[in-house]
Structure 1
Amino acid sequence: MNTILHLGLGSFHRAHQAVYIHQLHQQGDNRWSITGGNLRPDMLETIEALQAQQGRYTLETVTPQGERTYTRIESIQRVIAYQEDLAPLIAVGADPATRIISFTVTEAGYYLDDKNQLDWETFPDLRGDLTAVQSGLAGHTIYGGLVSILRARMAANAGPVTLMNCDNLRHNGERSRGGLLQFIDALGDEQLKQWVLENTRSPNAMVDRITPRPTPDVFERVKEATGWDDRAAIMGESFIQWVIEDNFIAGRPEWEKVGVEMVNSVQAYEEAKIRLLNATHSCIAWAGTLVGYQYIHEGTQDPVIRQMAYDYVTDDAIPVLLPCPIDLEKYRDVVLDRFANPAIQDTNQRVAMDAFSKIPGMIAPTIRDRLAQGGSFDSVAVLPALFLAYLHRWHLGEIPYTYQDQAMDAAAAHAICEASDTVAAYAADETLWGEMASHPQLVDALRAADERVQAFVSQHAKT
């Protein structure tokens, strides 16, 4: 049996990639299985539960109409407990039976700036990981972890392997590959670099399925429906999509038999998803938090917030994506219907995180494209203006949950909020805006959008 080693054994992987392999098994194709583990000591209770259940768990699927179905997923054949030296993960990665190493670490976990260069200055954990690997220890960032695994694979002469990104990073295969090669360059390991260039591929891919963090309610419904006290149960929406560039070096599952779209280029799909879905998701999370909502569906069902999201997509995102093989207006409407599903119970807290990665990756490109077209970008400017208002609340300690942002410099963020001209300070932040920082049209658009957001929040407070 061929192995996919997956790094980052969270809910999304188990509601998405693992489901497709499970479906192949259901069709009688058992040629591939998954071994999974984490590079960091995350989700220890879930990992322990999965080990106790031999990798099995229940997926609760919820339609927009609130219909729930339950599937026991059995594609993860081995769950590896976290170990500081990563020895069990490295051993699996160095096994010739492992043909694909896949990973889910979120956008900020790639440490890339707007020029696709590793941002050594902003991320001390990246510098620390380089030092650790140089001294012979295992790495715990995605790059250090992969280097530790690939060095062992090269030494074992275990053959080529595909490195498959399963995140929302734009051009995720080539960008994560670029980050890996830069990390190897910083190590000065020319032998490993040549081996990686010759013996690995990094296909781009687009992944999509809303998968909230599981709550005790999920465990209770699963137990009631199945009779199984499943401590690793998860829930996801019924919609699922995976588009993969068919660029594999050591074989792959026949994913096309279970609905995966294998294509020559994923660019149109990923741009539509990142701009129409991911950016809209953040818009609704920030806006919803500002007016006291807890869940994404509450904000989506609010007519003012829904109109903000609709206008952003219609006025600014769609015009810069045309021509496109996808019906973008239909895609927009499907996305908003998905977000409005009350059964998903997806929290603003989960979606609002990592804005200092999401704004440059998901929102600034539309502003940049509208600038290049010579058009206004008033509707898309509302999204970063919502986050500026959100950032003010965070600065004052008034966000009702813990905000997580791996790419945010907390001191710099507080300084923005304390500036005499907060909009100008915000527009000058190079982490958010790159070469557009302090562009006069950006500043003007953010000022106008900031006034709209303040009026929106004020009006909500009165109703």
Structure 2
Amino acid sequence: MSENNRLVHFGIGAFHRGHQAFYLKLLNEQLPEADRWYYTDVNLRDDTRRIPDALKHQQGLYHFKRIAPDGTAQYIEIDSIDRVEDASADPSVIERIFNDSAVKALTITVTEAGYYLTDSDDLNLANLEISHDIKVISQGSGQPQTLYGYLALALLTRQSMASGAITVATCDNLRDNGKRLEKAFGQFIEAAELSDLSNWMSDNVTFPCSMVDRITPVPPANLSQEIKRELGVDDACPIMGEDFEQWVIEDKFATDFPPLEKVGVTFTNKVHAFEEAKIRILNGGHFLLSYVGALRGYQTYDENVRDAELNEWLKQYHQNEVIPTIYDRPFDLEEYRAIIISRFSNAYIADSIERIAMDSISKFPQFILPTVKLNLERDYIPTAAMRLIAHWYCFLALNISGRLAFNYKDPYLAVAQGWMDQADPIDAFLRDPDVWQGLNQHYPFFGESLAIQIKQTLDEYEERYP
């Protein structure tokens, strides 16, 4: 492990290794050794140890297959991670990692569900894992189960240091992610009765918002063999991803931060405009079309885009309902949409519908609901969104009933199961307060129209899924 300035990352997934670690690799290539930055990566969950264990065995080295839409590939060795630890096995490692003045920032990727937020953006203090972590931190012993418990351990360590100021940068597809994490974590430490930590944080910790973008699918099983064949090296944990990358981060740092603007990262005070365009055009399109593809038996997302009917549905959704309701435009949105369609069609990435479709119940209010709401506010009925939302409901209903075989993963699946257990499942879905946040009560005509669309969609798949 080097003595250079350091970043720490919570959540060792393919996206982090193809995005934040990739950018740091590019930056280090431009800097003299003494000025370089390196990552300490930390696994937080005992069910995700396989890749961190392999990465640790390789001293953090791995290869990134970066693929263009025409199939042109680069094989890039990533060497910006030089320490890998597993806090799920030993939470005391957090103190050892963060008790180091060379550590300047923490970056985080845990997905939307990992923030445990209610529809009012408050921390769900009633969640059993959150209440467990509050007890662990209050008592000063035990094994955390959530981001908040581990973050509390990290910041308590920093509080004890003379030079403990640190930036905490979440890099997930959550609107206003830094602000929302700061608010929720503040509620966590209040519940844990850590008033001294709260006071210290106000002067020593910042939570910048960020927007991140790169498609990094689950790598194929034979990627290690391909790396061996092409490069002659063994790699048990390579990754793959598209040749597009973007990182926009709020210029709001508690202390030193790597000069990533040298390699194309945008530092700005207007992250929200970039974020809104990306989440609603890219993530929203990814989300909605994945369930139609699943119902049609497709395996990868590029199959959706090659289906002329689905491509047209997505075009209608983007051009008629999303782009007209994005009012702060940091770039040409139609040009951006065209780039996204090209990225979606990359058959060499072969991004699995299974990966994109997971965690839908927590994603819907982030990716889709704002577009629906803004269209209703302008007295426009979002018919394309309605058609696609109906397919989402149909997907859930058929999967839960066992009629659609699909490896669907969602920590909130019990919520959808609750809809299906009601006498009128569609009505239960349309009344769910966390999913709709009162929208169907405020616009009853929309809810009634969507219910009709859902019934029609279910009828369309009756023969295929008897």
Q: Of 436, 449, 452, which residue of structure 2 is paired with 1:433?
A: 436
Deviation at 1:401, TM superposition (A): 3.2
> Who is 2:412 aligned against?
407
> Who is 1:343 aligned against?
348
Comparing 414-423 and 217-226, the one that deviates more = 414-423
Q: Distance in 2 between matches of 1:10 and 1:389?
A: 30
Comparing 442-451 and 427-436, the one that deviates more = 442-451
Instruction: Name the aligned partner's letter for residue 104 of structure 1.
Output: T
1:256 correspondence with 2:280? no
Q: Distance in 1 between matches of 2:412 and 2:247?
A: 27
Q: Distance in 2 between matches of 1:285 and 1:67?
A: 26
Comparing 59-68 and 305-314, the one that deviates more = 305-314
Comparing 10-19 and 280-289, the one that deviates more = 280-289
- Other structure's SS at 2:145 match: coil
The TM-score, its normalising length taken from structure 1, stands at: 0.94
Instruction: Name the aligned partner's letter for residue 366 of structure 2.
Output: G
Deviation at 1:338, TM superposition (A): 0.8
CA displacement 1:193-216 (0-9 Å, x = unmatched) = 111111101111000000011221
Instruction: Name the aligned partner's letter for residue 99 of structure 2.
Output: A
Q: Distance in 2 between matches of 1:201 and 1:52?
A: 33
Structure 2 matches for 1:259-338, cutoff 5 A? 259-338=264-343
1:188 correspondence with 2:193? yes
Q: Of 153, 160, 172, which residue of structure 1 is paired with 2:177?
A: 172
Q: Of 130, 135, 138, which residue of structure 1 is paired with 2:134?
A: 130
CA displacement 1:126-181 (0-9 Å, x = unmatched) = 22221222221342311111001111111233420000111111001111111110
Instruction: Name the aligned partner's letter for residue 416 of structure 1.
Output: W
- Other structure's SS at 1:342 match: coil
1:3 correspondence with 2:6? yes
Are the counterparts in 2 of residues 164 and 173 from structure 1 also a CA contact under 8 Å? Answer: yes
Are the counterparts in 1 of residues 94 and 150 from structure 2 also a CA contact under 8 Å? Answer: no
Are the counterparts in 2 of residues 21 and 75 from structure 1 also a CA contact under 8 Å? Answer: yes
Q: Distance in 2 between matches of 1:381 and 1:443?
A: 10
Comparing 434-443 and 39-48, the one that deviates more = 434-443
Instruction: Name the aligned partner's letter for residue 106 of structure 1.
Output: T
Q: Distance in 2 between matches of 1:183 and 1:435?
A: 26
Instruction: Name the aligned partner's letter for residue 433 of structure 1.
Output: W
1:215 correspondence with 2:226? no
Instruction: Name the aligned partner's letter for residue 128 of structure 2.
Output: P
Are the counterparts in 1 of residues 43 and 49 from structure 2 also a CA contact under 8 Å? Answer: no
Comparing 417-426 and 73-82, the one that deviates more = 417-426
- Other structure's SS at 2:70 match: coil
% identical aligned pairs: 35
Are the counterparts in 2 of residues 94 and 150 from structure 1 also a CA contact under 8 Å? Answer: no
- Other structure's SS at 1:26 match: helix
CA displacement 1:79-100 (0-9 Å, x = unmatched) = 1134434222322122111100
Deviation at 1:354, TM superposition (A): 0.9
- Other structure's SS at 2:248 match: strand
> Who is 1:70 aligned against?
75
Are the counterparts in 2 of residues 297 and 346 from structure 1 also a CA contact under 8 Å? Answer: yes
CA displacement 1:104-123 (0-9 Å, x = unmatched) = 100110011221111233x3
Are the counterparts in 2 of residues 377 and 445 from structure 1 also a CA contact under 8 Å? Answer: no
Deviation at 1:189, TM superposition (A): 1.0
Q: Distance in 1 between matches of 2:342 and 2:455?
A: 28
The TM-score, its normalising length taken from structure 2, stands at: 0.94
Deviation at 1:383, TM superposition (A): 3.0
Deviation at 1:444, TM superposition (A): 2.3
Q: Distance in 1 between matches of 2:93 and 2:192?
A: 23
Instruction: Name the aligned partner's letter for residue 224 of structure 1.
Output: R
1:97 correspondence with 2:99? no
Deviation at 1:281, TM superposition (A): 0.5
Are the counterparts in 2 of residues 94 and 158 from structure 1 also a CA contact under 8 Å? Answer: no
Are the counterparts in 2 of residues 291 and 460 from structure 1 also a CA contact under 8 Å? Answer: no
RMSD of the alignment, in Å?
Answer: 1.8
Instruction: Name the aligned partner's letter for residue 262 of structure 1.
Output: F
1:33 correspondence with 2:38? yes
Q: 1:215 to 1:418 in 2, by over 3 A?
A: same
Q: 1:449 to 1:315 in 2, by over 3 A?
A: farther
1:238 correspondence with 2:223? no
- Other structure's SS at 2:356 match: helix
Instruction: Name the aligned partner's letter for residue 372 of structure 2.
Output: I
Q: 1:197 to 1:437 in 2, by over 3 A?
A: farther
Are the counterparts in 1 of residues 133 and 144 from structure 2 also a CA contact under 8 Å? Answer: yes
Are the counterparts in 2 of residues 162 and 249 from structure 1 also a CA contact under 8 Å? Answer: yes
CA displacement 1:54-109 (0-9 Å, x = unmatched) = 10000001111111110000000111134434222322122111100111100110
Q: 1:348 to 1:406 in 2, by over 3 A?
A: same
> Who is 2:385 aligned against?
380
Q: Distance in 1 between matches of 2:345 and 2:453?
A: 24
CA displacement 1:404-454 (0-9 Å, x = unmatched) = 11234x1x4223224443322211011211122544133123124325644
Gaps of 5+ in 1: none
Q: 1:398 to 1:131 in 2, by over 3 A?
A: farther
Which portions of structure 1, spanning 4 or more consecutive aligned residues, are displaced by more than 6 angstroms? 458-461
Instruction: Name the aligned partner's letter for residue 371 of structure 1.
Output: L
- Other structure's SS at 2:46 match: coil
